[in-house]
Every structure is written in structure tokens, then in C-alpha cells.
Amino acid sequence: MDFKNLTIKSFQEGFRLKEFSALEVAEELFKEIDAHDSEIGAFLSCTKDEAFLAAGKADTLRAEGGELGPLAGVPIAVKDNMLMAGHITTAASKLLEHYTASYDATVISKLKSSNAVLLGKTNMDEFAMGSSTENSAFHITKNPHDPTRVPGGSSGGSAAAVAAGFTIASLGSDTGGSIRQPAALCGVVGMKPTYGAVSRFGLIAMASSLDQIGPFTKTVEDSRILFDVIRGRDVHDATSTDFNYSPTEEEIKKLKIGIPKEYFVDGIAPDVSKGVTEAIEKLKRLGFSFKEISLPHTKYALSVYYIIMPAEVSTNLARLDGIRYSRDVKDVKKLKELYIKNRAHGFGAETRRRVLLGTFVLSSGYYDAYYSKAQKVRRLIQEDFDNAFKEVDVILSPVTPTSAFKIGEKTSDPLSMYLSDIFTIPANLAGVPAISIPVKKYGLGSDELPVGFQLMGKHFHEEDLFGIGELYERE
């Protein structure tokens, strides 16, 4: 049996019917990783021993007639900025290459409690700073559909692992598009929840007012299943909350979809434009009504993001001075020299760029001119979404301006790289949920590169996005 194409739903059906064991699936997926991940580079580390123990536990639970939850025995990979007790957690940075986590992130605890099988930690842009997974301190991840191209970032390893069939699902983090953008480029489903829907406890912080953890899956249905396990209030994260919104399928079919005119502009690649148009036409055939809307402050979103995000990066990474999370720097005679050498050697170029930019915008004399003003414009962007959702229920847009670009194509031009997130950043600034869905199913080896479309919803209305997405997939 080919386990590479299993979804969470089909795994659970076969597992319950005893068509295979969880251990059998885990063993086969590790064989696949061992044989082919050297070509893709999706993983930074694998946790085989723990995975086999967890798979055996799920098999025993099934044999004893125990209650099998929705993720029992399901293989899942995790982005390497989420702490897993007893395992190295690097955030793809040399500064943390020897750091062993002392506790589990809340999402890891929830996966373990649900008897999921954790396969290992996936590659990423260093400290989640990038849109291509070329900024990892360890290796570049490649797109399974075309290894000469990037998988997107910063959660490129998590997206590639699902697209390549190394895992059934994975977790990533999204600060400005780091789940949705790689999902679109790799042809999988990637979902950023509402800010506060999923606990950030145990996530190595990049920009605390923007970060969210979310799922990569092969289907929208799987995305809902995984999200339902990791969501909810956590006493360790004051921004997290419980919520309950469960529309019926009939209510979903009556939702009105908005098309923001600011997102459909010159500069979008023809294949992306064609793909998103296909998705819109398909949704119209399903009976959904559409309305053109305006999000007038969208043009400022990229600028606002690249002020607020680096400011929070500068603050969050100040704790990484190379002492508690130590690196070996020889011939150091003064404490200040130790700080300088550790951070200079430990941080990559993109991380240094953002720390310097963030320190600048927070510095005396510039705080009001940059950071304070950016926060005011962020409020206007949030109000745009509030006003739009008075007219429509869901907003549809492209995910990225282009499909997957060539490795090395944008590394010398940071601004061009930053523009990869131009359609995803507003949802983070507003804190609303958003999902990237493949326009159609692309098999590996297809001549076409994957294209995704994005749905954005009201706060804590993830079910609207799942509902529309499932009807789209069913069609």
C-alpha cells in the first residue's frame, strides 16, 4: 500500500479497519525520508525512536479497544521553532544549534495527548525570517514539484514534507504569510488561524503580535481536523482564547465572498491570475455570490509590517546573547566582546538585517516617526477588514504574486523577496484567519507549478473558510 498519499481522514479510516498499523506507516514514511529527503531537505532532524514508541502506543490502544482520537497514530512533522522536550530546537540558527528544549510547546503537548506520531523537526528560514527557506543556517529546502525552485518560507520544510509525501500533515508558524505562501508554492493546504486561536507557548518568538501556529495538510478537511486538536485557551498564553462558531452547510452556502480590488493588480504572474480566476469561477458554479470590495489601506501593509515586525524581532532576539544559549567563541577577553562575537557569528545575514532595522525604528528620535505611526496605520488596516466584513462574509485573493521562483533568484534583492508576502501580510496585521487552498490537485511531476488562492474570514470564523474550502474540494 502507498502510504505517501494518505490523508488524516483516510489514515483514520484504514487504521480503524485494521488495514495497516501505525507502526507500519511510520516505518514506511521514515524509509521514504531516508531515501529521498537528501534531495529535498525538508527535515533538520528526525525523532525515530519517539515516533516508533508513539506508533506502538497507538497500535496498543487500538488493540485494547481504547478510544481513538482523530490523530491517533497519525504521522506529523513540526517546524523547528516549536519546543519539543529533550530534543534540539534550532529555529534553523547556528546560535541555537546545541539548544535542547526543556519542555514541550503547548501544541506539541496537545499532539502527544492525542497520540499523534511526531516524525521530526522541519527546516525553515532562520528564526522564521524569510520567504524561501534559503535563509536556514543548515541547508536549503527544495520544492518537491521542481527541485530547482524554492518551497516558499519561512515554513518551507513543513510544506515540502507534506507535498513530498514524507508526512501526512505538519505544523508551521505564520507571521506574515509563512504558512500560506509555502502552501501555495508547494500545492498543499496551509491555514493561519485567528490571532489567539492557538497557543504560542513554546514557539520561539519572532514578532509576538503577529505570530500564529497553524496546520499544513493535503486537504481542507484535514486542516479542520488538525486545527481542532491544537486550538483553544492555554493558561500559559494570555492572548489565547476558547471560541465556538459552528455554521451548518446550508449557512456556509449562503456566505457572500468579497473580491478586494487592491489585490487584483498589474504584476501578478499570468499562471497565478489564471488559477485564481479558475477558483472564482468554480465557486460561482457552486452557487456562491461575489461582491467587489475595497481594502484601501492595503498599499501600506508591506511598509507597516516591515516596521512593526523588525521592532518586535529586535526585542525578542535580545535575549539570545550567546551565554545561556551558548556558542563557543575563543579568545574573548571582555563580556561585550563575547556578546558581539556570539551574535555576529550566530545570526545569519537576514536576521542581522531585521534586528538592525528593528533597533533603528525603536531608537530615540525615531520611535514616533516610524513605530508609533506604523501602529496607527495598522489600526486603519484592521478597520478596513471590519468595514469589509459588514458587506461580505469571506474575502478571496491570490496568495502570492508568482508561483515558485528559482533558488537563488531573489537572494540578492531583499525587497523583491519581501514582495512575495504582499497578499498575506494584511491578514496578520488584522489578526484574521486565512487559508491557502490549491486551485486544483497537482501531482508530483506535473508540468504545471502549483497555484493557490486565499480565503480570509472574520475573527474566529475559521469554520467559514473550512466550509467553503471543503465544498470546493468536494466539487
> Residues 79, 112, 121, 142: which is the catalytic one?
79
One-letter-per-residue 3-state SS of the chain? CCHHHCCHHHHHHHHHCCCCCHHHHHHHHHHHHHHHHHHHCCEEEECHHHHHHHHHHHHHHHHCCCCCCCCCCCEEEEECCECCCCCECCCCCHHHCCCECCCCCHHHHHHHHCCCEEEEEECCCHHHCCCCCCCCCCCCCCECCECCECCCCCCHHHHHHHHCCCCCEEEEEECCCCCHHHHHHHCCEEEECCCCCECCCCECCCCCCCCEEEEEECCHHHHHHHHHHHECCECCECCCCCCCCCCCHHHHHCCEEEEEHHHCCCCCCHHHHHHHHHHHHHHHHCCCEEEEECCHHHHHHHHHHHHHHHHHHHHHHHHCCCCCCCCCCCCCCCHHHHHHHHHHHHCCHHHHHHHHHHHHHHCCCCHHHHHHHHHHHHHHHHHHHHHHCCCCCEEEEECCCCCCCECCCCCCCHHHHHHHHCCCHHHHHHCCCEEEEECCCCCCCCCCCCCEEEEEECCCCHHHHHHHHHHHHHC
**Active site annotation includes 178:** yes
- CB neighbourhood size of 282 (10 A): 16
460 is written with which cell numbers?
474566529
Q: Cα–chain-centroid distance for residue 43?
A: 15
d(CA 170, CA 193): 15
> Residues 154, 155, 173, 436: which is the catalytic one?
154
104 is written with which cell numbers?
514541550
Looking at the DSSP bridge assignments, the partners of residue 214 are: 172
> Residues 93, 109, 131, 178: which is the catalytic one?
178
Q: In what order do the strands lie in the sheet with 43-46?
A: 43-46, 117-122, 75-79, 169-174, 212-217, 189-192, 434-438, 452-457, 394-398, 256-260, 289-293
- CB neighbourhood size of 302 (10 A): 18
355 is written with which cell numbers?
534586528
Residues designated as active site: 79, 154, 178
